[in-house]
Amino acid sequence: MLGLLQRDSRIVDFLMEDISGYTDEQVGGAMRGVHEQCRTVLDRYLKLTPVIDGVEGTYTKLDSGVEKRTKLIGNVPANGKAPGGLLRHKGWRAEKIDLPKTSTSEDLTIVAPAEIEIE
């Protein structure tokens, strides 16, 4: 997935670059295109749905069986269980994954190959 995001949006290049010398406007302008391209990649290869489809900031009851899909934060009881709390983040779940096939000889540690232009 990271290789696809790098290939189509250069996200790793952006994240690895030292942006401390750029203004917020420059970073924001550059990020708009990266954001759009990353979202296109996610939409193409994944169907993402919220773990809890609720309104963030509202009280949410914790039903049994959600322990593996949720993370309790804040003043968590010592037993690690609570009847509910404020939904701070809906979470994301990959409902469907449709990644391209890779060959068995492909080195999956290479996120993006080096590029050499021949003149």
Q: pLDDT (tens digit, 9 = 90+) per residue, 60-97?
A: 998 877 778 899 999 999 988 888 899 999 999 999 99
Please tell me the pTM assigned to this model.
0.76
Largest alpha-carbon pair distance within the chain? 66
Confidence bin at 20 (pLDDT 50/70/90): very high
Q: Tokens for 111, please give them.
A: 């996120």
- Which pLDDT score is estimated for 80? 81
Q: Which tokens go with 22?
A: 């750029």
What average pLDDT does the chain have? 91
For residue 109, give the H/E element and its range. Answer: none
Residue 11 near residue 34 (C-beta atoms within 8 A): yes
C-alpha to C-alpha distance for 35 and 73, rounded to whole angstroms: 28
Q: Taking residues 99-110, report their average pLDDT.
A: 85
In angstroms, the CA 81 to CA 19 distance is 42
* pLDDT at position 108: 82
Report the C-alpha gap between 112 and 97 in whole angstroms: 21
Core vs surface per residue 50-73: b (16+ CB within 10 A) or e = eebeeeeeeebeeeeeeeeebeee
